[in-house]
Structure 1
């Protein structure tokens, strides 16, 4: 059994070295898309503030600041993800660490750089431009062809949506 463990450990180390030396654009971004589609397949529901526990992933949300159409606010009894909770979890799984952290979309966009030529796996932010900074209100994972993986609103599940249907496009961003 210890020989098998040694072989598995050696294989894991080889994979780590190979993937760590691969260009981030060619390695992490396709993983982000694959993970996003896997999460969609599981039908995870939207929860305002969901995904912002100590560790990334589905969690119950909060009703603080809730303005959704379903009343009373269901977030404190709904285990799921909001938009920034979805992107945080997907990026953590793809990168192997919580690279975006527990903040909201404004916190996340500050950790990224805007790109003019997006590739699947980049994030797409929505909101408004202020004189000195962005005021974001939504984020999705760019899938290509004008589509994004999206945790859109209370009562919905994580799904694919057209970017053009969401108002306030701010741009594409890469970690």
Structure 2
């Protein structure tokens, strides 16, 4: 499937309903659409020059699946997934290249999350996971090697740092 055409289809559907959603709502709609496609998790995937599925890297890989499948898997890691969703919603690569530590610096923490906000995991010194919050205690994310994009409870990862909104 050509992912760009799919995104255009989602945007056309939103426009056809007679309303133009805010960026946070569009992030939620797009994330749901792509989660249903089951895009493979790939360590380092989604961090090319432009956002979207790409081959990953085995550099820094510590996953349980051996040998590392990232270099032969076209997909996304967690920060690559959120980077792509924000690119589709905002029309620009607002999160940019980098990992969860780089992305959280472009955001502001919020006490009450809204769908489309990002939920980060780890601590103030180092984050290690991120997902798109969709409401009702759920997130859509690229979880780990051997999985595909999916919906999980925000409690699926134990060390929640907090919810963050863009722009900072």
Give the gaps of 5 or more residues in structure 1: 1-14
Deviations 1:57-89 (A, max 9, x none): 000000010000100000000000000000000
Q: Which structure 1 residue ranges, 4+ long, deviate > 2 Å from structure 2?
A: none
1:152 aligns with 2:143: yes
Q: How does 1:1-175 map to 2 (within 5 A)?
A: 27-129=22-124, 134-175=125-166
5+ residue gaps in structure 2? 1-14
Structure 2: how far apart are the matches of 1:38 and 1:97?
19
Which of the pair is proportionally richer in helix?
1
TM-score, L = length of structure 1? 0.82
* Cα displacement (A) at 1:30: 0.4
CA RMSD after TM alignment? 1.5
Shift of 1:41: 1.6
Q: How many residues align?
A: 149
TM-score, length of structure 2 as denominator length: 0.86
2: CA distance, partners of 1:42 / 1:51: 16
For residues 55 and 110 of structure 1, what CA distance do their matches in structure 2 show?
A: 19
Structure whose CA Rg is larger = 1
TM-aligned CA deviation for residue 44 of structure 1: 0.3
